[in-house]
């Protein structure tokens, strides 16, 4: 199994961020999970994914010593491949080629790849450029010189694994670990599908006394983090706003942010209740409050 798993994991390491399968866009305040774009404010899938990855990397050690190192770690796969090329004297040229590619890919897990590219080619972000150069130095040292020496001397995972010896783990412990990993993986996938990529927020703009009545002005804020456009309808159940701007559903394009002001006019205390609904009814958000006429 190791023979095919190692190249597959290595390939995944290189393609996952570029196809938006999983990456965190720190400057953009969002992250991608199987091409779904989600804001940091809806962080549950991100937290569960990180938790699952940590559990997976640690939990694998319960089944076989250094199982993660031998089957999954991209550094081990590349180092083994470079060692095999040593006799043809091709390891150094390949290590030189791989260094910037690995550094670029690692940063792409945390910064939009287009942003990194423009930082490198047009100098648009000094921070990204410095980070890339520092990472190139580190990866270069790893691939050109250290290779497997890194595992025995520096890598913290090598030390951590000593705490999780498979021979000390009972069969029940292994079953519980496997069940926990499966449950956490399932919860992670479910959380993505139950998380909306649409941000809905209500802001108060003004409260004006107009003689015998009060005028309250609000702003409905919508941000579409999805990859496709979204139609949003607003339904008022009690008091209607003045010149209702939501008579027709609102079309919001992918990546677009909208602020739609609307006002209520009241002479006495009145209840306001309305639903803001994207195409998926499960993502509806209800607002309910009362307005005073004085």
- The stretch near ligand SF4 (CB under 6 A) out of 148-156, 210-218, 243-251, 269-277 is 148-156
Which of 113, 158, 185, 249 lies at the binding interface for ligand SF4 (CB under 6 A)? 158
110 binds ligand SF4 (CB under 6 A): no
Which of 117, 157, 164, 236 lies at the binding interface for ligand SF4 (CB under 6 A)? 157
232-238 own/partner pairs: CB under 8 Å, 24+ apart: 232/198, 232/200, 232/276, 232/277, 232/278, 233/276, 233/277, 234/274, 234/275, 234/276, 234/277, 235/274, 235/275, 235/277, 236/272, 236/273, 236/274, 237/273, 237/274, 237/275, 238/270, 238/271, 238/272, 238/273
Distance CA 80, CA 150 (A): 13
Q: x-or-dash pattern for ligand SF4, window 21-60, by CB under 6 A?
A: ----------------------------------------
Angle at 182 between CA 180 and CA 183, to 5 degrees: 65
155 binds ligand SF4 (CB under 6 A): yes
Nearest to 261 by CA among 233, 242, 288, 280: 242
* Residue 210: exposure state from Cβ atoms within 10 A (0-12, 13-18, ≥19): exposed
Q: How far is the CB of 139 from ligand SF4 (least distance, A)?
A: 12
Compute how many residues bind ligand SF4; rule: CB under 6 A.
10
Q: How far is the CB of 73 from ligand SF4 (least distance, A)?
A: 3
Which of 38, 73, 102, 143 lies at the binding interface for ligand SF4 (CB under 6 A)? 73
Residue 228's SS3 state is coil
- The stretch near ligand SF4 (CB under 6 A) out of 7-15, 68-76, 118-126, 208-216 is 68-76
Which of 6, 76, 177, 196 lies at the binding interface for ligand SF4 (CB under 6 A)? 76
Which of 75, 196, 197, 278 lies at the binding interface for ligand SF4 (CB under 6 A)? 75
Binding site for ligand SF4 (CB under 6 A): 68-69, 73, 75-76, 150-151, 155, 157-158
């Amino acid at each position: 199994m190791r023979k095919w798993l190692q190249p597959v994991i290595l390939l995944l390491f290189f393609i996952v961020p570029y196809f938006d399968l999983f990456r965190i866009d720190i400057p953009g305040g969002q992250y991608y999970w199987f091409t779904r774009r989600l804001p940091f404010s809806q962080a549950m899938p991100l937290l569960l994914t990180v938790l699952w990855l940590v559990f997976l990397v640690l939990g694998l050690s319960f089944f076989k010593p250094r199982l993660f190192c031998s089957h999954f770690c991209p550094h081990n796969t590349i180092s083994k491949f470079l060692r095999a090329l040593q006799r043809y004297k091709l390891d150094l040229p390949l290590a030189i080629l791989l260094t910037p590619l690995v550094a670029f890919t690692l940063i792409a897990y945390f910064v939009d790849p287009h942003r990194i590219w423009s930082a490198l080619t047009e100098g648009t972000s000094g921070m990204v450029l410095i980070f890339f150069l520092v990472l190139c130095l580190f990866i270069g040292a790893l691939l050109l010189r250290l290779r497997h020496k890194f595992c025995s001397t520096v890598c913290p995972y090598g030390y951590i694994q000593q705490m999780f010896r498979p021979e000390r783990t009972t069969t029940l412990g292994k079953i519980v670990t496997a069940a926990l990993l499966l449950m956490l993986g399932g919860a992670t996938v479910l959380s993505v599908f139950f998380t909306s990529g649409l941000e809905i927020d209500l802001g108060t703009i003004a409260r004006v006394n107009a003689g015998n009545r009060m005028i309250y002005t609000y702003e409905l804020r919508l941000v579409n983090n999805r990859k496709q456009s979204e139609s949003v309808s607003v339904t008022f159940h009690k008091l209607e706003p003045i010149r209702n701007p939501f008579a027709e559903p609102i079309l919001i394009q992918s990546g677009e942010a909208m602020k739609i002001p609307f006002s209520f006019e009241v002479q006495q205390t009145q209840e306001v209740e309305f639903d803001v609904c994207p195409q998926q009814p499960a993502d509806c958000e209800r607002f309910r409050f009362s307005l005073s006429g004085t």
